[in-house]
């Protein structure tokens, strides 16, 4: 339902100030309703588990993000950003060939997709989330890129701390957000892996109070006058790997494996990825946390899965981003399970078994 707003006592000065604010937010040609929606984007009416986690995450992790950024700044200002990975100007509008994006969802292990990829002779590029890096190498797959977005000091370091990673470091480029923990950067440099920086887009960089804008200003240097480029991470490393594949590397078709955004139905709730975070974010409200879980039937791969409030938000962000990308880019969901799908016929996500995708690109 849409309502009309009539303000009878609004004086001319206040109106002109509002118009100027609307213009400053780059909503000049948009409706008042669209601008009000933008202004209230961080206001939550319902205390759902997902919304409470989102607010708690921003409050609790801001100190970590700022500390990591401060520790990394001297290196960021002297190192390459992801601009160095983009195709040359003459190739900027070309589609550069197939790609496989590797997440760490349970389907990756259930269907042994990395074993299949390692034995396939695939000639395209592989962009892996950091959590899938070691698993790739165990299966003979050396990713061209590994993507990290999380600022966790222990967890992300763990994904790079393996003999196979050190052995193959010179063949892999690490794509790092500027708020990654500094010990991760030091370890990557120690093993000889090249790193490239980007800013995770937390908010609207056009606003003066924007944390993203602050990152841009702080990372600017003589080497990188405009600072590190902003990237919409969509909440997780797997989705960020997909963004890098189409927006930066100009790849198509892009196969998604291990991109479930959900759990196997038999997974105990206590062992799911965000159970602990939801418990902390809701103050231990078990009933509210349990309400955030739901069973989903995947009609494309004829299986069930379970998701939670966090994964639903990731899925919705991914599907929304899919609507906005170059229509020449094909994204093919090959995970053969999980919750990343849409039954909307206008959705530009294709579905295919991974072995069929590999056969298709080998023929072409």
Mean pLDDT to the nearest integer, 349-358: 98
In this prediction, residue 47 carries a pLDDT of 54
Q: What is the percentage of the chain residues whose pLDDT exceeds 90?
A: 66
Q: Considering only 4-18, 239-253, 291-305, which range has the smallest mean pLDDT?
A: 4-18
The model's pLDDT over 131-184, given as tens digits with 9 standing for 90+, comes to: 999 999 999 999 999 999 999 999 999 999 999 999 999 999 999 999 999 999
Sequence-separated contacts (24+) of 4-10 with Cβ below 8 Å: 5/32
- pLDDT tens for residues 62-78? 888 899 999 999 999 99
In the predicted model, is pLDDT for residue 46 greater than 60?
no
Mean of the per-residue pLDDT values of the chain: 90
For residue 79, pLDDT over 60 is answered with: yes
Has residue 270 got a pLDDT over 80?
A: yes
Name the residue with higher pLDDT: 354 or 213.
Answer: 354
pLDDT of amino acid 39: 77
Per-residue model confidence (pLDDT) at position 49: 52
SS (H, E, C) the chain: CCCCCCCCCCCHHHHHHHHHHHHHCCCCCCCHHHHHHHHCCCCCCCCCHHHHHHHHHHHHHHHHHHHHHHHHHHHHCCCCEHHHHCCCHHHCCCCCCCEEEECCCHHHHHCCHHHHHHHHCCCCEEEEEHHHHHHHHHCCCCCCEEEECCCCHHHHHHHHCCHHHHHCHHHCEEEEECCCCHHHHHHHHHCCCEEEEEEECCCCCCCCCCHHHHHHHHHCCCCCCCCCCEECCCCCHHHHHHHHHHHHCCCCCEEEECCCCCECCCCCHHHCCCHHHHHHHCCCCHHHHHHCCEEEEECCCCEEEEECHHHHHHHHHHHHHHCCCCCCCCEEECCCCCCCCCCCCCCCEEECCHHHHHHHHHHC
Whether residue 268 is predicted with pLDDT greater than 60 in this model: the reply is yes
Provide the pLDDT for residue 21: 82
For the segment 29-47, the average pLDDT, to the nearest whole number, is 72
Residue 107 has pLDDT above 60, yes or no: yes
Query: Pick the residue with more confidence: 319 or 38?
Result: 319
Average confidence (pLDDT) over 19-38: 82
Closest CA to 233 of 247, 251, 214: 247
Residues 6+ away with beta carbon under 8 Å from 59: none
Could you tell me which residue, 363 or 171, shows the higher pLDDT?
171
pLDDT at 335 over 90: yes
| pLDDT for 50 | 54
pLDDT > 70? residue 52: no
Q: What is the pLDDT of residue 55?
A: 59
């Amino acid at each position: 339902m849409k309502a009309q707003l009539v303000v009878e006592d609004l004086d001319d000065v206040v109106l002109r100030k509002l118009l100027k604010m609307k213009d400053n937010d780059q909503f000049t040609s948009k409706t008042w309703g669209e601008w009000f929606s933008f202004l209230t984007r961080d206001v939550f009416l319902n205390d759902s588990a997902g919304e409470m986690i989102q607010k708690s995450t921003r409050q609790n992790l801001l100190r970590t993000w700022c500390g990591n950024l401060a520790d990394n700044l001297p290196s960021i200002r002297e190192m390459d950003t992801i601009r160095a990975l983009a195709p040359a100007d003459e190739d900027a509008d070309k589609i550069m060939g197939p790609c496989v994006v590797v997440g760490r969802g349970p389907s990756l292990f259930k269907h042994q997709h990395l074993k299949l990829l390692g034995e396939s002779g695939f000639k395209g590029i592989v962009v892996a989330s950091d959590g899938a890096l070691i698993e790739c190498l165990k299966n003979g797959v050396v990713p061209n890129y590994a993507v990290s977005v999380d600022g966790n000091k222990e967890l992300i370091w763990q994904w790079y701390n393996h003999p196979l990673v050190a052995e193959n470091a010179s063949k892999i480029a690490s794509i790092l957000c500027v708020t990654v923990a500094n010990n991760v950067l030091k370890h990557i440099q120690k093993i000889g892996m090249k790193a490239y920086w980007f800013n995770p887009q937390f908010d609207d960089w056009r606003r003066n109070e924007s944390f993203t804008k602050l990152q841009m200003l702080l990372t600017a240097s003589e080497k990188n006058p405009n600072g590190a480029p902003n990237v919409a991470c969509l909440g997780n490393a797997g989705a960020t790997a997909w963004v890098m594949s189409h927006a930066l590397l100009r790849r198509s078709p892009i196969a998604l494996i291990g991109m479930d955004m959900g759990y196997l139905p038999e997974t105990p709730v206590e062992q799911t990825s965000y159970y602990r975070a939801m418990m902390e974010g809701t103050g231990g409200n078990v009933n509210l946390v349990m309400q955030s879980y739901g069973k989903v039937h995947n009609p494309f791969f004829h299986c069930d899965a379970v998701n939670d409030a966090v994964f639903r938000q990731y899925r919705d962000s991914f599907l929304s981003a899919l609507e906005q990308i170059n229509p020449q880019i094909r994204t093919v969901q090959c995970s053969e399970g999980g919750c990343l799908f849409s039954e909307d016929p206008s959705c530009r996500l294709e579905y295919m078994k991974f072995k069929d995708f590999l056969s298709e690109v080998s023929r072409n």
